[in-house]
Amino acid sequence: MENAHTRKKQPELVRRALLDRAAELAVEQGLAAVTVQAVADAAGVTKGGFMHHFPSKQALIDAVFRELLDTLDQDLDARIEADPEATGAFTRAYLGSVLDMIPGASGGPWAALYVSMLADPDLRALWAGWYEARLERHQATDDTVQLAAVRAAADGIWLADLTGIALHGRAGLHALLLDMTLPHS
């Protein structure tokens, strides 16, 4: 590590490195591996450098989770914009986005944080706030019981994928759920 007094300060690069290393550690080793020291070491900064950007491990994890939500927002918005049918567009975007994040061998970037969300009230609150805001935003186009069922099914499919449960006829299930989002005459 370079001497802190001679090294050029680049706070945005340091912050980015801390976020990236935390996400990598969470995916590769689980959220328990994301400690202040482990992230600082992986990012090549001191614990003091870590604390300059994030006052705690929880603040860092929250920031990583918020970034993932921002990425999800961007993906959803792009899918909604490309959808020619307004009714159900959010639900179709959500279904497509969730089914596209199938956890692979590494679990994908969402896996460690989603699993942790089940036990962490702060992350659950972040998710719930994000989800409720999206539902409110799309209330005019996606506020039916049927569309809520499709979104819940998408979450169930993602959880099945995450836990290694084989879903027979997955492509057919996706097609059925997609059809449920379309207005029928």
Question: Which H or E run contains 65?
Answer: helix 57-82
What does pLDDT average to over the chain?
86
- For 137-154, what is each residue's pLDDT tens digit? 999 999 999 999 999 999
The winner for highest mean pLDDT among 22-26, 107-111, 163-167 is: 22-26
Instruction: Determine the pLDDT at residue 121.
Output: 87
Contact residues for 51 (Cβ-Cβ < 8 A; gap 6+): 36
* Percent of the chain's residues with pLDDT above 70: 88
Burial of 85 (0-12, 13-18, 19+ CB in 10 A): exposed
Confidence of residue 91 (pLDDT cuts 50, 70, 90): very high
pLDDT tens column, 17-48: 999 898 888 877 777 888 999 999 999 999 99
What local confidence, expressed as pLDDT, does residue 147 receive? 98
The model's confidence at residue 102, banded by pLDDT at 50, 70 and 90, is low
According to the model, what pLDDT value does residue 108 have?
Answer: 59
Reply yes or no on whether the pLDDT at 52 is more than 70. Answer: yes
Structure confidence at residue 171 as a pLDDT band (50, 70, 90) = confident
63 CB-near residues (< 8 Å, 6+ apart): 19, 54
Contact yes or no for 97/73 (Cβ under 8 A): no
Residue 24 near residue 38 (C-beta atoms within 8 A): no
The answer to whether residue 57 scores a pLDDT higher than 60 is: yes
Q: What is residue 130's predicted lDDT score, i.e. its pLDDT?
A: 94
- Tracing tokens 């945005």 back to the chain, one arrives at 12
DSSP state of 185: -
15 closest CA partner among 54, 42, 70: 54
In 101-185, where does DSSP find H-type helix?
Answer: 108-119, 121-137, 139-142, 145-163, 170-180
Check if the beta carbon of residue 37 is closer than 8 Å to that of residue 63.
no
pLDDT: which is higher, 68 or 80: 80
Please check the confidence at residue 67 and state whether its pLDDT lies above 80. Answer: yes
pLDDT at res. 105: 46
pTM, entire model: 0.81
Buried b (16+ CB within 10 A) or exposed e, 50-81: beebbeebeebbbbbbeebbeebeebbeebbe
Is residue 41 within 8 A of residue 49, CB to CB? The reply is no
Of 1.10.340.30, 1.10.10.60, 3.20.10.10, 3.10.28.10, the CATH number of 1-55 is: 1.10.10.60
